[in-house]
Amino acid sequence: FPEMLSNPKLVLVQGALNVVKQQNVILSCLSESGSPPVRYTLFRHNQQVSALNRSDLTPALFTLTVSSASDVGEYKCKAEYNISSGGKYSNSLNFTLIEPVSKPVVSSPTSQAKKGQNVTLSCLSENGSLPITYVFFKGTQNISPQKTMQKREAAVIFLFIDSLSDFGTYKCKASNSFPNNTKYSNGFNFTLAEERSYSQPLVISLGLILLLLITGFALAIPFFIIPLYKASE
């Protein structure tokens, strides 16, 4: 009788659990105790992917190519004798597909600001695997610590407009675990809001009063001035 099989071990021997499209990974499946020949079957989400027979105590090597999101998820392998109706299952390995971030968009609720005003800037990449890390810049100078977002939501910073030099060009960059992939936004500029002079409302008020006086005088001519003129003749 063949020796009882141990639960096989599923090991990643090439690649990473975070994979990109068209990446190859190699999995090894081996029961350390048992009597060959042994049949090893690889499953993804309980669906058979591939099967290999081993006539000695060497691992079964499965090569996978990740071409779409359907190729990632939970993998397990099963070891069994050809003459057996049972089998032993391995641990599971979970693969995650990572995608590059899209070009982020930097924005603000207001495009105009004046000195002494608090404003906000937000940065968001619509696509890309989470988490995504954002950094804000003014010109080429970093003006914020890294902000890592675990959800698909914008990173936000608060700014105080203190002088005209704060009206420069603002940008942000986004990155994630996708290798060699960092995207920068377009530039965003605040424009200086025109500050109305305190004397302007006064001038407008005086002008309205003068207009009302002239209008009142014109309306009074037929009722008061003309009768007085006729009475004096």
> What is the set of domains in the chain, with CATH numbers?
9-97 (2.60.40.10), 105-192 (2.60.40.10)
Distance CA 44, CA 66 (A): 12
If you write DSSP's letter for every residue of 152-207 in order, what string do you get? S--EEEEEEE-SGGGSSEEEEEEE-SSTT-EEEPPPEEPEEPPPPPTHHHHHHHHH
Confidence of residue 226 (pLDDT cuts 50, 70, 90): low
High-pLDDT (> 90) share of the chain, %: 63
Determine the Cα–Cα distance for residues 156 and 151; give it in Å rounded to an integer: 13
Give the whole-number percent of the chain exceeding pLDDT 70. Answer: 85
User: Which pLDDT tens digit goes with each residue over 25-73?
Assistant: 999 999 998 888 999 999 999 899 999 999 998 999 999 999 888 999 9
Looking at residue 208, what is its pLDDT? 76
Q: Between 150 and 211, whose confidence is greater?
A: 150
Cβ neighbours of residue 230 under 8 Å, at least 6 residues apart? none
What is the total residue count of the chain?
A: 233
Task: Please state the rounded mean pLDDT for residues 66-86.
Answer: 87
Please name the amino acid found at residue 139.
Answer: G
Question: Residue 197 above 50 pLDDT?
Answer: no
pLDDT at 205: 66
What is d(CA 186, CA 104) in angstroms, rounded to the nearest whole number?
Answer: 8
Q: Is residue 199 very low, low, confident or very high in pLDDT (cuts 50, 70, 90)?
A: very low
Report residue 212's pLDDT band, with 50, 70 and 90 as the boundaries. confident
Q: Return the C-alpha torsion angle 80, 81, 84, 90, nearest 10.
A: -10
Report the range of poorest mean pLDDT among 19-33, 84-98, 198-212: 198-212
Is the pLDDT score of 2 beyond 70? Answer: no
Structure-block tokens of residue 104: 């982020």
pLDDT of residue 198: 46
**pLDDT for residue 225:** 54
Confidence at residue 213, expressed as pLDDT on a 0 to 100 scale? 72
